[in-house]
A = this chain, B = another copy of it.
Amino acid sequence: MTKEIRLNAFDMNCVVHQSAGLWTHPRDRAVDYTNLEYWSGLAQILERGRFDGLFIADVLGVYDVYGGDVDTALRNGIQVPLNDPVLVIPPMAQVTSHLGFGVTCTLSFEPPYPFARRMSTLDHLTRGRIGWNIVTGYLNSAAKGAGMDGQNSHDRRYDIADEYMEVVYKLWEGSWEDDAVVRDRSKRIFARPDKVHKIHHHGENYRVDAIHLCEPSPQRTPVLYQAGASNRGCEFAARHAECVFLLGPSKQVVAPRVADIRQRAARYGRNPAEILIFTLMTVIVGRTEAEAKAKFEEYRSHISHEGALTLFSGWTGIDFSRYSLDDPIRYLKNDAINSAVEAFTRADPNRTWTVREVAEFVGIGGMGPILVGSPEQIADEFESWIEATDLDGFNLAYAVTPETFTDFVELVVPELQRRGIYKREYHEGTLREKLYGPGRARLPESHPAAAYRHRAPAAAPAPIVTDGQSLERLS
C-alpha cells in the first residue's frame, strides 16, 4: 500500500465536543476553550505531528431533543456554551506555518457577500491554509435563534445552498483577475479597474450586484469540505466538496459510502480519486496494548450517560430520555429508532444493544469507531481501514484534549512515518497544494467554481500585415 494517509484533528469551540463527561477527567483541558493558549498550543501539537488540518465543528443551536429542553446539555456542557469557531483560526495561524484549518460555517444565517469577505480574509491571514466545511444547518433551535419558526426543509436547504455556492464562487473566482492588483508605488496604481468586475447574481434566494471586497487570496475559494449523508447531501458533496467527511462504525459500512461518493463525483466530471474522504475515528494509544486498554478503561469511567444520549438524541431526533438505560434498542417499537441505530446493529447483526451500551459507545468519540492499542496495532488498523474502504484518511476526535492528540503525535505518527504511509514534511504552499501537490493552489477546471472565472473575450485574430515574401515564409 502506498497511499499517503491524511489526518485532521476534530475539535469544536466548546467544552464537550464528542466525548460526553470526559471534561471531568483531571487532565482534560477542554474547559480552557475560551483561552487563546488552548488553541495555539493545540495547533503547535498538530503541526509537530504533521496533521493536514484541524477540522473545527460548529452548530448555531443547542441540543434540546433529550428531555425536550436544554438542561442536560447545559449541565454536561454538551456543545453549549459554544463559541465562534472562526475567531480562533488567525491566532493558530500565527504560531504555525503549515497546519490547515477546516472551519464549519453554516450558510443559513449570513448573506454570501459579507461571508465571502470573511473567508477571503482568513485565506489571506493564514497564507492560503483555510478550508470551509459547508453546512446548511440541522438544529431547529438554531433557526429559532435566528427568528424563524423552524428551519427550511432538508432538500430546500440544499437548493438554497447550491445558489449560495454560485454567488460565493462568482465573488471568489470571477470578480478580480489575477493581475488586477499591481501595487505599483512609482506609477501610483494599486489595482487596475479594468481587471476588477462587478458580479451580477439575480437568483431566487440571493441578489448581488457588487465587486468582491477582497483582492484574490492565495487559494481564492477555500478548500471545500462537506459532510452530507443524505442522497441530496451526497450529491451536493460530489458536486462541490474536495474533502468529504463521513461517519460509519465499521469498514463494511464505510466502504460502499466511499465508493458512492467517488461514483457521484465522477458523474460530475471530477476526478474521483481526488475527492479526499475522511471518516471519524478515535484513537486511544499506549506504549503497549495493556497501557492503552488501561487508559481506555480509565477514560470510560468518566463517561456521562445522559450527556452521551443528549448528543445522540440531537443527532437522531429521538428523545432517549423516555427510555431506561437497560432497554434493548431493537425491541423499541419505533422505526425511527431502528433506523437511527442501524449503524450499530449493522456492524454486528447478532448483537442487541441496550440504551446504556449505545451511550457508552457514543460517550467516547461520538458515532465513530474507537481504536485502542499499541502504536503498531493502530497503524495496522489504519492500513486495514484504508485498504478495505478506499478512504483517504481520518478525522480524529479526542477523548481527553489535548492528551489524545499528544499521545497520537508522539506514539502513532512515528510508526506511520516508519511505514512510509505518512508524510515526514509538509509540501510547501497553500492547504490545497499540500493536499494535491505544487501548482494546485486554485480549484481545478473540472470544479464547478471554475465556470465563474472571468474569461477575456476571445481576441479577434490579428490581421496579418506583411509583404508576399514573409507571408510565404510563414506558410
Contact = CB atoms under 8 A, between A and B. Distances in A.
Interface of A: 13, 15-16, 21, 23-24, 26, 31, 34-36, 40, 60-62, 69-72, 74-77, 80-84, 86-91, 93-95, 109-111, 113-114, 117-118, 120-122, 124-125, 141, 144-147, 181, 183, 185-186, 188-193, 196, 206-211, 213-215, 217, 304
A90 B88 contact: yes
A96 to B, nearest CB: 11
Contact of A190 (B23, B70, B215): B23
A26 B120 CA distance: 27
A91 B125 CA distance: 10
A114 B125 contact: no
- Count the copies: 2
B124 A113 contact: no
A462 B82 CA distance: 39
Contacts of A145: 113-114, 208-210, 213
Contacts of A88: 90, 125
Given A94-B40, A109-B110, A190-B23, A210 B121 contact: no
Contacts of A122: 87
A75 B84 CA distance: 35
A73 to B, nearest CB: 8
A110 B114 contact: yes
Nearest to A95: B94
B210 A141 contact: yes
A131 to B, nearest CB: 16
B36 A210 contact: no
Nearest to A79: B213
Given A70-B211, A125-B87, A113 B60 contact: yes
Contacts of A113: 60, 109, 145-147
Given A86-B118, A188-B304, 20 more contacts: A16-B190, A24-B185, A36-B90, A40-B94, A70-B211, A74-B190, A74-B192, A74-B196, A75-B192, A77-B191, A80-B213, A83-B117, A83-B214, A87-B122, A109-B111, A110-B110, A110-B114, A144-B208, A144-B209, A145-B208
A89 B114 CA distance: 18
A178 to B, nearest CB: 14
Contacts of A16: 190
A146 B192 contact: no
A415 B114 CA distance: 43
Contacts of A213: 60, 62, 80-83, 145
Given A190-B76, A193-B70, A121 B83 contact: yes
A444 B316 CA distance: 44
Given A60-B114, A109-B111, A213-B60, A147 B190 contact: no
Nearest to A84: B121
Nearest to A62: B211
Contact of A147 (B95, B124, B192, B206): B206
B26 A193 contact: no
A36 B214 contact: no
